Structure 1
Amino acid sequence: MVEMLDRPAGILTRIPPLPPFVTPEELVADALPLLDPPSRISVTDAAERALRVPVAGKWSAYDRGIAPYTAEPQDISQSRRFKGVVFVGPSQSGKSQMLLSISAHAITCAPGPVQLIHMTKTDADAWVEEKLNPAIENSPLLWERLGKARDDSTFSRKRFKGMRLAIGYPVANQLSSRSQRLVLLTDYDHMPQRLGPKDSPEASPWSMALVRVRTFLSRGCVVAESTPAFPVDEDQFQPPSSLEPHLLPAATAGIVNLYNAGTRGRWYWECPDCSELFEPTYARLDYNRDLDPGEAGEAAVMVCPHCGCCEIEHRHKAELNRRAMAHHGGWLHEGRVVDPATGARRLVRIEDGELRHTSIASYALNGAAAAFSSWAGLVERYEAARRVMEATGDDLDFVGVHYTEIGLPYRKAKDEDEDALTVEALRMQAMPIAKGIAPAWARFITISVDVQGNRFEVMVMAWGPEGERVALDRYAIHQPPDDAPKAKGDDGKYRAVDPGRYAEDAGVLAELAEKVFPVEGEAYGLKPVAVVIDFGGPPGWADNAEKFWRGQARAGLGGRFYLSVGRGGLKQRDRVWHEAPERASGGKKARGIKLLNMAVDRLKDSVAAALGRTNTPIGAQHIPAWMEAEHVAEHLAEQRTEKGWELRKGQSRNESFDHSVQGLAVAEHLGLNRVNWEAPPAWCMSGLGNPLAVPLERPGDPDSAREPAPAQPAPRRIGYLRR
């Protein structure tokens, strides 16, 4: 380090040492290799020569045999025949490694500008720090080509000898005004599918990327990889056909539609017994669905669809993948020729002249063939999610398994009688019970209250084992309590309920917790285990609702009254959670009460599924025969859309549907899904052992109820299950 005295400033300045002397001959020798023509080797060969990857905690040479199905797609990125390469597959299958291999080829063999677009800037920075930088530092051939100046290696740019690797994220200016030889799009379905401001629509990331490589003519290419993340578009759905054997169901957006526009390649294995080729898919895994998910997964085997007798175990997967790379299977694409003997479209390899005519080479890998996932884990996760969906109607986890584990777009299953789920159909299948009388199987009662500007809408539901339920009463409360303030100018006798203006009007709800509902054929009735009241409503109601709940809490009934609030959207933290809000509206200090938060779209999925269960009592919601048609119609007032549940056109009343959601939410919060019905907790026990059961002098007559002694304690003292 050289020290110099800065005389005018009178301070000592430190200057870093000068770089070593370089002769002109050395500069020329360093630059001459850049004039060499591109090396004519494949991306996979270049990756094996230059790239190091982490394997079992150490850095090892790239091995194409680990994920053989990535070799062809990454090699085709250098083809002058195609302008784009699309790869659809499950997570952790080696998709993103392809982009690193393609980059390594550009650095060492075919210098030129390359741009990699990540989902977000945060993800791009994380990828550079956690994947790209370590790979460069541990790969000597890449490290020696990286520029050593301060600005040559940043989070947004890597400068190598003769080429530039730009790392960006999907915004319009990142895919504008720059020429690139290669544009690599990772996790495509998790990007915005339309770029630019809302009032000035731009093209998709794929379309904008194609424009960026246009200057490089046939050498330019766009590569996109992703797991699917968009559902099947029902308006464009087509059943499988022998004329389009590899067509995936059209999705509402995303990479699946890019795949369908391409050559539609699928990965095939050769059967060890009959030598016929078949695609290894999850649907071809054979296991006992009656076993627990873990046990079913351990016993899963792949069955050849041709001979039907060859059972392939998971331990053979790696070998079959390697054999497929040697053309004992491998990637087969749709051809242009239809076999006249079978009427099916012929499948060909990528170099075949009969290949489907398109500028996109596209590939779809099923999760059953993915190198880094086991069949045991795949089956276990699939079966666990499937059983949750069938039990609750909530398919969020099941959707995730299709997207990330199997790599397929998800199509929501339709019940055979879905189109027949009408008011008339529900009334024809109605349960013949008397109004206000709980069926013999009833274990507990819930009451749901929807708050309107001039009334309280109420529905009572009886619940039995395994989530079976039925409404016992459905009515509206219009009259305020006798001690409520009177309307100005009259005696107030006929004033309608006004929950937002008068806090005292909520007093009519206090008696709901003490109502007794006789159990059919028994000498006892049940009080409600919970009364759940809508926290939303007319202006002023939230404050009045809080006052009401605090009054009930002081009376020892706070554990039986809940204030509910709906949370829209399909990606909530849970189905139900009970906690104080972090912040009140308007930035005010959060309220000191807990709210029953409901993921309403997921719960409505469950309610809709429960209404359609006519062949099993498990999780079924029955419509009672006494219910009026208008209240039955309220159960069907909404329809499922891509954004969630919305009112049908021409419908305005959906209170019964909302009541059902409130009831299900509070039942799940109390522990409905965790109850062992062979030894249930006291709150859902049959008989007088239930602390909410009240003996009746006259069976079936709630007016003959005899109060139990001692007085009813708060729920937390009677063994409620808590989340």
Structure 2
Amino acid sequence: MTTDPNLTSLTKVRFADPRTIIANAIKAFLPPEQIDVAAYAAEHRYLDNRGGGYVGRWNHDEAPYLVAPMESLTSREHLTTAVVGPGRSGKTAIGQNWMLQSVEVDPADMLVYGATDAMIEEYVKAEIDPMIDSHKEIRKRLGKRPRDNSMHFKKFSAMWVQFLAATYSNLINKSAPRVVITELDACDTSKGDPYELATIRRQTFGYESMVLAESHPDLAAGSDPSKWTAGVMSLYRDSDRHIWYWPCPNCNAYSSPNPMGQRVMTLDWPADAPLDEVRDAARLMCPCCGTLIEDRWRRAMNRDGSWVGMGQTISEDGDIAGELVAKDIAGFWITGVMSPFVIGGIGSLAYEMEKARRAVANGEEKAVQKLKDVTVKRWGLPFDPPKAVGSLDAKALADRAEPGLRLGYVPEGARFITAAVDIQGNRFEILVRAWGVAGESWIIDYRKVTADPATSPGDWDDMLKSLEDALYPLTDNSGRAMKIMAIGFDSGGQEGVTLQAYDAWRRARKRRTARKCGNIDGRHAWSILPLKGNGSVNAPLLNLTYPESKRRDRTAGARGEVPVGLFNPNAFKDAASTQMQVAEPGPWCVHFPAGLRAAEPPHPFFDQLVAEQRSSDGRWTKVSPNARNEALDLMTMTNVMAFLFGLPRMPWESPPGWAAPWDANTMVVFMEEETAARNATALVAGMKVVAQAVSTPAPSTASREERRKRLASQLAR
């Protein structure tokens, strides 16, 4: 039998499956997969940071705060996504994931801008080329011709990506529906705002376009939003302003590591310790329960975190209420303590910040620039340049004391009163301050009361009751007087004082004199409040905490009942110093009665007001170790209580009743009527005591009675 060689060769030929051919042909006509950038990254992004970095599939659990910014890139409700953040926070990966998602499932031409040619070339070499090599599907779509894969240009099967320096000519001569600007604040602004120039180039694409701008906040002139006039913070200012909130691992209450949050979690460390100890001792402080939180908890806290934008609020239980304000810009602000990629964790952040501050305090060369670099690039916060050290002179303040003002009387123009109590080993020191329109104020009382604050509940009760019942006559001779609106007292100091302070507040609460007067600026405004200074320069102005909270889960109803005002003493002393430097009557001027002067110099009260100076690193310290500073502390605490009740934003045209003019003021009473009402109340209470005395032996009160008599004589006017 003869075998045909042609037939033999045909049997070796393999033919494609016609079903596969048809299926692939049909697939080409299918629309691209509908998947946003975050979901794409979770499915397809591979990280190959060999040599110590992470290697493996992208995992949202590492930095959950990156999910929402990535999702906003495919939103049709925004035209721009602005991401503020420090180095090593993952913000650059947002643009990289967007590029991968665009190439594989949602093609559209893309422009990527960096500050300089050198920076963009380094970025392509170190980040983009290795990323393409690590993703087979992306590599398959990359053009094979040399011009399709250059340093500045990548041509893929259905789109291109161009990498350019953000120069004026590059910004005005290119167009694409998608634009990425890395490190916006480092780009040249000499010929215009890089963002404004770039956004023009995509406007023909309308809501099919998107600009991603990310950067450290280098160009912000300070932490106040009014100073966010350039760079990425100007975009964030005009955005829906998302802020990250995460739960405390101890009480599960939600607070924010962002200084603009409703409740701010701060980074705390021993400011005077050696730098190595600063690094090791750094802890996050929960504003709701006062717990110090170790670095190891941050990953779990991030995993349960949430973004909260403008128009929304978040409860301590994590419930988000309100509707997000509609803006063309989706804004997200990442801070350094959020990032899991910071080498050394929060300890290194504290170390670098403290080191930079000490360099400024020591007057080292370029120390202010170093402090700015740490604040902006490592902490991700706008930088407030150190203020000039204020100079107050005790003699000049004493010379300003006004003979026409009488201690114990409320002068014309005063609208409400705050009182502060400083705790010393053997006494209470009390300052009472009246406030008027635009922050003008008058010192109306100052005294020292002998007591035993560490061990005597009776002394605490007598002191607080004296202030609760105090009536300060108005100077109009109408027989009327004004009551104190808010009392703040120091809750720290020697052993035993904190416990006594908390117990005294509980008893005032039972008397119904410690009462909640509403919610002002997101804080409960208590009429009586224990206070505690937070020594961190970056601490928020004022947080209301409940340090005895026992909550362990988000649904528990129990909470600590004693509120504590945790305030920034450095910032409030800045304010007090500024106010005392205003010599002309009017906004923020402080008026001192002549009765505060001693018979002859020196004048101890005024010496205490200048006993501290502000150093260039923002901290207030004593000018000498033995200087007395109680008067300055009292001025600060009266400021805190006025701030708690909304003084800086008080609507003086239509104020609340307790800050109204005298004829309509709810804290103004006729002295005779008030005294008669109190006597009647005391009589009823006395009858109850007599009725109980038959079965209850009277305790020994000799020493306490003596103290009460001393207190009564000191408070009498």
Select the structure with the greater relative contact order (CA < 8 A; seq sep ≥ 6).
Answer: 2
TM-score by structure 2 length?
0.48
TM-score (norm 1): 0.48
